[in-house]
Structure 1
Amino acid sequence: MGATLLAATAGVIGIVLGRLWDGRSEAARWRRDQETASYQRLAEASISLYEEIRTIALTERGTGALNEAIDRARRDKTWDNALVAVWLHGSASVVAAASLMDRTVTELFYGAQSRQHSTEEWNRARIPSADTFEQFLASVRKDINLSPVSVRLFPYASD
């Protein structure tokens, strides 16, 4: 009877420890998935916001189209929501890279509103935001243990 009780107790302990381990593993997977998804959402939002800003920069001043483009960009909260998700779920290095990207995109947005850009002026104005976007991607790849890549997303970005 003592051996049976001992075996039953060991079995129960094994089940409890297994459930505890599964719960911890599941929580770690959930955190990793949230982190990775937030990184992807911010990268996608960056591309969309970049295109909205490009439209503003290249649109003729004093037109309804310009005002609509600015209003649309200001109402669209995709960027803000994606940035907050990175702030909540991201590692410190990725949050720092995302925050720097946010500052340069904000500067690009205000610069795009200030005057109409030629294509050449736009290509120069976008370099800081393109660079910080690529730094963000490099930080994410490092954070999720992917090999670095040397791909330039935007042409005319500084080397």
Structure 2
Amino acid sequence: MSEALLLAIGGILGISLGRLWDIRSETLRWHRDQKTACYQRLAEAFILIYEDIRSIALTDPDTDESANAIDRARRDKTWDNALASVWLHGSTPVVAAASLMDRVLTELFYDAQARVFSVEQWNTARTPSASAFEGFISAARKELNLSAAPITLFPYTPS
């Protein structure tokens, strides 16, 4: 074979391999971006559902206000949609952390409907949800190859 032909074949192979590498890199970036977006949406949804539950917990359960707050919380699918997205795109440790967060929030939601909480009782009752959220954030940061960042959801709890 001539030297020109070998150079041409080498060039074609180089371009082909380079393009395959680009496609692989783009796919990896797309998956990482999907995970990041899902994790962020779930963190944002946590704050929304947590505030809904807090409103329910601090309201007398025998009032229209309480019934309306419960109905609003049940109809809002922001949490469910964000959670399903993590279940679909997340790694096993992040899915486990998100599922724990869902279980803890569900328990808190039902507890909040049962009685009126004092501020002190609420501060105690909300602790497992904060721990689950912090665990989710930790698992997500690890999955995304971000350095560990100590977070405290409720850094100040009034007495």
Same fold (TM over 0.5): yes
Aligned length: 157
Deviation readout 1:83-131 (Å, 9 max, x if unpaired): 1111111111111111111100000001111111111111111111111
The Cα shift of 1:15 comes to 1.4
Instruction: Name the counterpart of 2:123.
Output: 123
The Cα shift of 1:2 comes to 2.2
Q: CA RMSD in A?
A: 1.5
Deviation readout 1:6-55 (Å, 9 max, x if unpaired): 22221111111111111000000000111111111111110110000000
| 2:101–2:129 CA contact under 8 A, matched in 1 | yes
Q: Which 4+ stretches in 1 moved above 4 angstroms?
A: none
State the percentage of identical aligned residues: 64
Q: Using structure 1 for the length normalisation, give the TM-score.
A: 0.92
The Cα shift of 1:60 comes to 2.0
The Cα shift of 1:149 comes to 2.5
Read off the aligned partner of 1:37 and give its amino acid letter.
A
- SS where residue 148 of structure 2 aligns? coil
Instruction: Name the counterpart of 2:74.
Output: 74
Deviation readout 1:57-82 (Å, 9 max, x if unpaired): 11122222111111111111111111
- SS where residue 140 of structure 2 aligns? helix
| 2:86–2:95 CA contact under 8 A, matched in 1 | yes
Mind listing any 5+ residue stretches in structure 1 that lack a counterpart? Answer: none
Read off the aligned partner of 1:87 and give its amino acid letter.
W
Distance 1:17 1:151 in 2: 43
Q: Using structure 2 for the length normalisation, give the TM-score.
A: 0.92
The Cα shift of 1:147 comes to 2.4
Instruction: Name the counterpart of 1:147.
Output: 147
Instruction: Name the counterpart of 1:47.
Output: 47
- Correspondences of 1:7-22 after superposition (within 5 Å): 7-22=7-22
Read off the aligned partner of 2:96 and give its amino acid letter.
A
